[in-house]
Homo-oligomer: A and B are copies of this chain.
Amino acid sequence: MGRKRKNGEANETMVLDETEGVSSEELVQRIIQAAGHTSQSLGIGRVTGQIYAHVYFSIEPQSLDDLTKGLGISKGSASMGVRQLEQWGGLEKIWVKGDRKDYYRSRDTFGKIIKNAIVDLIGKRMEISSALLGDVEKELSASGKKNADLTEEQEFVRQKLRGILDFQKKSETIWDGFIVKMLK
């Protein structure tokens, strides 16, 4: 790797030298990029994954400053990302006495972290949809009692709704199972 060595900068090209091995520093840089890509495509945001990967592959606990320098992100982004990851149990804060900075180290209970993130993000979103359908279900049963005989259209809607509601119940069961397995 007769490449530039200095600060972990200039990792844009990602060109691999097939004949030679890759330094672990380069490897880590690539994984950080990959983590950013992954977290972004999961709707969590790019920096979140990058921050976690950076800390995960750092022997020493990392400060906000280390993150802004190491990842080239702003102090604001670092602050927010770190807090989110802390809430999900991905990072834990380390107090170093005599040092006013906050330091973070990673926790490697991936399952729990992801479960927390999923519940936090997807779960909240699903709840809203669920609630909306729940309202509809109430309307449905209420109108069912009032009108013994429905128009053809009403009956059609009724039947279609039933189909959705049934599927929703089934989905929730599967989803819960998924979460449980992830947690283990």
Contacts and interface: CB of A to CB of B under 8 A. Distances in A.
A146 B41 contact: no
Which of under 10, 10 to 19, 20 to 34, or 35 or more describes the interface residues of A? 35 or more
Contact of A110 (B34, B38, B111, B167): B167
B24 A157 contact: yes
What is the copy number of this chain in the assembly? 2
Interface stretch (A82-90, A93-101, A124-132): A124-132
A174 to B, nearest CB: 5
Nearest to A182: B174
Contacts of A59: 153, 156
Interface stretch (A2-10, A25-33, A61-69, A72-80): A25-33
A177 B174 CA distance: 10
A24 B129 contact: no
A11 to B, nearest CB: 13
A30 B160 contact: no
Nearest to A154: B24
Given A27-B139, A146-B21, A157-B27, A133 B34 contact: yes
A21 B142 contact: yes
11 contacts: A16-B135, A21-B139, A21-B143, A31-B133, A31-B161, A33-B132, A37-B129, A38-B129, A41-B122, A43-B43, A57-B157
